[in-house]
A and B are shown apart, each in its own frame.
Chain A
Amino acid sequence: MLSKKITLVKFLFSFLFLIAATTATFAQDAAEGETLFKNNCAACHASTDEVLVGPGLKGISERRPIEWIVKWVHNPQAVIASGDKYANDLYNKFNKAAMTPYPNFSEDQIKGIIAYIDASNAAPAAAPAAGAAPAEGAAAPAAQSSGGMMEVLLLGLLIIMVLVLIALLSIVNTLGKITQDPAAAAETPLMQRISANLKELAANSAVKTGILVLALLLGGKATIDAAYGVGIHQGYAPEQPIKFSHKLHAGQYQINCNYCHTGVYSGKGGNVPSANICMNCHNAIKRESPEIQKIYTALENDEPIQWVRVHNLPDLAYFNHSQHTNVGGLECKNCHGEIEKMEVVEQRSSLTMGWCIDCHRQTDVNAKGNAYYDKLVEIHNKDSKTPLKVQNIGGLECSKCHY
């Protein structure tokens, strides 16, 4: 009797545990699924019922059994070849555009993706957008403010000066009319009088010196400013051979940067995408567009597309994307600005050494959860109350970037 009870309790416990475990894994799966979906699927599929390259995936878990989805994801062509009716209908419906196979996805990962799709449809789209919004707001004014304000100020000053000049001239004119003998005034025309005055003015040594000094000062300032600007191409937005719009791809369609710029989280370079990445989508979408035709031409002629490089660091500076994106956890827009709003990409940051150093002085090390920094944080916290900055661990040293 007793033993029976224990078994029952055991059973109940294990049941509870099972439920708890499932829900926990479920939440985790959905989170992992979201990443997987955005990195791999989102280019062609929407999580809603909107049709992009392929069908919208809303309700996929109800439409098809999970075994079928797994098979399909692993090897769509095999499912089509097996004569599966649904698969063949789908294939024909989408003009025989084949889906990229993902043989490396485990069944759990696929389930995770489906969990994400279901979850995102259950709680309408609000969640993902919320996270991104504040960061956007913070970066934008900082990047734009200096340039815009200066122009407005200068323009204002110019208008005021012109107004003052007109006022002064009219005063001089009126005064002249009052004081001068009208006959003399009539004898010597206005222009002559002005030129006489000017000659007198030019003969004045104090004025001469003043003008010279002013010219030297202005010239000097201009030279120094220009010299500081040598090699800085902030705002550089060259025309590209193909009018690719980041605003459309990164902004409207929210394609993850990493989808095209492979390697930004793993390597040194930002990697301009190769044409075959474009073809992942554009073998089906907007094939007729003259800009996309350029990609086709390039592929047919076997001539690579010569993009114009926007961000040019000198060879003597070593910069590694993954250190900043992956380890430092920085957003792309920290340095590149709001790419998702740019029709034509421009260089937003100055990319000078001062700019790098400033950031290294101010930025906290993204040490949380990274065992590499544990000891450093511990040592730093012993005699400091401020968080560990990049500069505290050698972020200002020469051979971090120059070797």
Chain B
Amino acid sequence: MENSNKRYWKGIEELTNEPSFVKNVHNEFGNMPSENDSKGDALVDGSGTHRRDFLKMLGFGVAAVSLAACEAPVKKTIPYLNKPEDVEPTIANWYASTYTDGGDYASILVKTREGRPIKIEGNKLSSVSKGTLSGRAHASVLSLYDNEKLKGPQAAGKATDWASLDKEFTAKLAAVAAKGGQIRIISNTILSPTTKKVIAEFAAKYPTTQHISYDANPAYGLTQAHGGILPSIDFSKAKTIVSLGADFLGSWIAPTEFAAQWALTRRVSSEKGGKKEMSRHYQFETILSNTGANADYRATYKPSQEGLVAVALYNAVAKLTGAASAAGGSVKIDHLDKAAKDLVASKGASIVVAGSNDPEVQKIVAATNALVGAYGTTLNTAIPMNYRQGNDMAMANFIKEAGAGKISAVIVYNANPVYNHPMGAALAAALPKVELSLATNDRADETASLCQFIAPDSHYLESWNDAEPKAGFYSLTQPAISTIFKTRQAQSSFLTWAGLASDYQAYLERNWESTILKGGKVAWNSALHNGVFEPNAGSISAASPSVDVASAASAISKSYTASSTGLEIAVYEKVGLGTGSQANNPWLQEFPEPVSKACWDNYASISQPTATKLNLKQGDLVKVGAKGYEVTLPVLVQPGQAKDTVAIAIGYGRTKAGKSADGVGVNAYPFISEINGACVGICTQGVSVAPTGETKEIAQTQTHNTVMAREAVVQETVLADFVKNAKAGSFTPRVKTSEGEKDATDLTLWNGHEYNNHAWGMVIDLNTCTGCSACVISCSAENNVPVVGRQEVINRREMHWMRIDRYYSSDAEVEDLKGLEVASDNPEVIFQPMLCQHCNNAPCETVCPVLATTHSTEGLNQMTYNRCIGTRYCANNCPYKVRRFNWFRYFQTDDFDFHFNNDLGRMVINPDVTVRSRGVMEKCSMCVQRIQEGKLTAKKEKRRPVDGEIQVACAQSCPTNAITFGDMNDPASEISKLLLVEKEGRAFHVIEEINVKPNISYLKKVRNKDAKKA
């Protein structure tokens, strides 16, 4: 097993050697003009320029340069008039705050420069989010500078001012209240206790008010199964994790928090006597989710079987524990019995989670959890989570009432039900007929544009607020910038309309003093400084909800069937774009999905056998229809998806969100079905898929680079082998020489480098990397990485410095057609973050004709943009394909009309990093600006930098701490200790056989599988 040579493939194209793949594989820069896209044409080839034009341009250029050289432009330097005491130009200030978006939560630190927020990091003081951030939380800082938000309040589609809006609206509201008309406040989950209190104040003034909350991707079923609460979940205590379609590492409820817990159970050590235990993770699902990609054992089911799978698992567990089994559940799923056996074996350290929003399914799962002793260990009902409190039943009821004309006034509080509720169309028809309507949404979106008034709420980075993500765990939001537009906090609006003082900051402070802190100004200041206040010491309850298993099973048997033959739709949430609330954020649009590696689109994802059956191939445009709703989507062939299913992501198909979002993809919310009173993301009846005969290329990033037939780019083993031998599954390349066979790393032409000061390095643990790609957004934000847009991604010119390579693997050979089919059915997946490896024998450095890329005395591979003349030799010679070339000027160009093309969007730029111009190469700098800053701080304090003080953006933002960065010259640093332990164990360099000696090491992935029977 020691010299493993497993076959990995990046996508179906590579596996089947499709012509398009073969054509591109050796065409590194892919500068072929796209035939379909006229704009793409112009952007792509530059062949429109003729010799004469060239000469004209040249002449003009020379003249312009000489004119420009005559006189330097006068630059102004404009200081503050009254410098705020705590703002020092060029020195960053950090503020603790809280990110909330719908039910998403993270305690954050906001980095501001000269008064503008430019970066968001996790707040490690929070014991809830523990410093973890999702990609969306990282990207939210760009949403602050969204130019397409409303610049001020609107009445009847026209700009107005706050005083007249308040006057007009309160007058109408009073009229509605006077005649006893029903008033509804519609929102997503509100985590803020003080905001809830404000809404209660409003309701006290207008007694016919009811507050209805719903969620775009709800957990209503889960709360219903637990008597109205969401028990807190702790994966870190689990030895066996079984997930029925819950993408808890990617998109389910609080994924980064769960990922951090999950990673704790997955970390192993090669040290003698080190930790060699791992949780075992089973995933049963329809799509190949980010979580499924990380599971040890995985099997698929069709959406119509979901409930029955839950019952089958319950029965299997019940059989082992001696409990009564439930009726039904006659469905055959691989590994299910094995999962049940492990669940029972690790009783007290087991957990079952289900992604389904069907309350009956969740009841069965709760009963299963009770049987395996999950309550009191991995599940805790004493500390409920508040993330998803939406009530599907109440929301559906509201839409029906509104349609029937029973509602007189609607206030939409930062929600977009017309777009993101399955009954959105009905609401869209009903809303204009409501007597009085107002939205506090930040833009005139699908819902707000149908309302009479828009009273735009400020961005959370401009606002005061609080949050209670879990009972007894509080956190504060404070503004990091004053309002950019004439917006007003919705809470202030509610207070104003309720006839109270509109100062929400004072209200918040008073409320905290009287109900939460009770400790005066000192306590308030300390809570504000820390961002969090957690008086709840953490009680644990072993109480499990009482479940009527028989009735739940019978309800399930009515809604699900074991053997349906038709096509079915699975609606899922993407890791990057989420529910689409931040769809106008170009960072999120260009975020490559962890598994499909597609961006700027949603698509009809189908498995290879289904594609073959329907005679479809990747990129074919198909019409997908069900329930009288039809959309046109390109096909994406997804290995590992259940047969006869079509998966479509929510969050796309916005029509009134802004330039980056409008017209990208289609809206999948209407496909969500109502099952047992809840919105369940499946559609099992009457699904049709019809080809249109047209094609549309999907912008995918993964197959852009080739591994060039290198043998082992990524390494893995199974736990059973790893326990016996830490080197199991490792690949040690050997080279034949005249003096016999040698290790490839023993042969070199180079003398190496001597590092007297620091030797920066990085270790990436493939065992805990979930592929969530939060680091990609964090890196883009830190390093001013431009957004290039859909066509340029297709042209293989995305600029991300960090990419998460996703490999599928199977033991079958390419020639083994039968084995191949099995492989695509349910392949194993491995994620490998790939960034500049900062090689000590760097191939790029030796080929640069102008010395624009050189090696530093601290082990960094430096890239000097102003020296680069754009030969691209370095990228050609880079074995890891991590260098990105600026084909265009991505800023201040209408061809790339993203945030770099407007003054407001450019506020997010990190002033310590150069914005690269056209014609230069760029790549990961290992956040050299942070290294320099950290060193300077240490020097000023006349000491050496402390380990952990300097953090690169990706390592800092990894929810699972899979990335360790540090000084390898410092024997006390974490990275040195880790490498010492893993040197003879899991550590490896990618493509070690070419001996470029990277400063980035990887730790082999270990799957908790049984050893293969040889």
Contacts and interface: CB of A to CB of B under 8 A. Distances in A.
B499 interface: no
B862 A399 contact: yes
A306 B75 CA distance: 10
Given A267-B88, A275-B82, A369-B942, A309 B77 contact: yes
A274 B81 contact: yes
A220 interface: no
Contacts of A130: none
A271 B912 contact: no
Given A231-B72, A376-B757, A397-B857, A304 B79 contact: yes
Contacts of B867: 398, 402
A272 interface: yes
Interface residues of B, number: 45
Interface in B725-755: none
Contacts of A312: 72, 75
Interface stretch (B176-184, B248-256, B517-525, B928-936): B928-936
B346 interface: no
A376 B756 contact: yes
B935 to A, nearest CB: 8
A39 to B, nearest CB: 15
A260 to B, nearest CB: 10
Contacts of B72: 231, 233, 312
A314 B914 CA distance: 10
B69 A397 contact: no
Contact of A272 (B79, B854, B858, B938): B79
A394 B864 contact: no
B773 to A, nearest CB: 24
Contact of A403 (B78, B82, B929): B929
A372 B938 contact: yes
A83 B798 CA distance: 71
B946 to A, nearest CB: 12
| A272, A312, A318, A403 interface centre (most CB from chain B within 10 Å) | A403
A320 interface: yes
A372 B942 contact: yes
B860 A399 contact: yes
A315 B944 CA distance: 29
A302 B942 contact: no
A19 to B, nearest CB: 32
A298 B81 CA distance: 8
A353 to B, nearest CB: 9
B942 A371 contact: yes
Interface of A is mostly: loop
Interface in A317-373: 318, 320, 322-323, 326-327, 369-372
B59 interface: no
Contacts of A305: 78-79, 81
B943 interface: yes
Contacts of B935: 372
Interface residues of A, number: 54
A290 interface: no
A230 B856 CA distance: 30
A271 B79 contact: yes
B565 interface: no
Interface string A272-311: 1111110000000000000000000011001111111100
Contact of A266 (B91, B863, B913, B942): B91
A235 interface: no
Contact of B857 (A238, A267, A394): A394
B94 interface: no
Contacts of A277: 83
A299 B914 contact: no
Interface string B236-257: 0000000000000000000000
Contact of A267 (B90, B862, B865, B928): B90
A140 interface: no
Contacts of A302: 81
Interface string A233-251: 1000010000000000000
B89 A269 contact: yes
Given A369-B942, A394-B857, A276 B76 contact: no
B913 A403 contact: yes
Nearest to B854: A398
B866 interface: yes
Contact of A315 (B914, B928, B938): B914
Interface of B: 69, 72, 74-83, 88-91, 756-757, 854, 856-858, 860, 862-867, 912-915, 925, 928-929, 932, 935-936, 938-940, 942-944
18 contacts: A231-B69, A262-B83, A266-B88, A267-B90, A268-B91, A272-B78, A276-B81, A299-B81, A306-B78, A307-B79, A312-B75, A316-B914, A318-B912, A326-B940, A327-B939, A372-B944, A376-B757, A397-B857
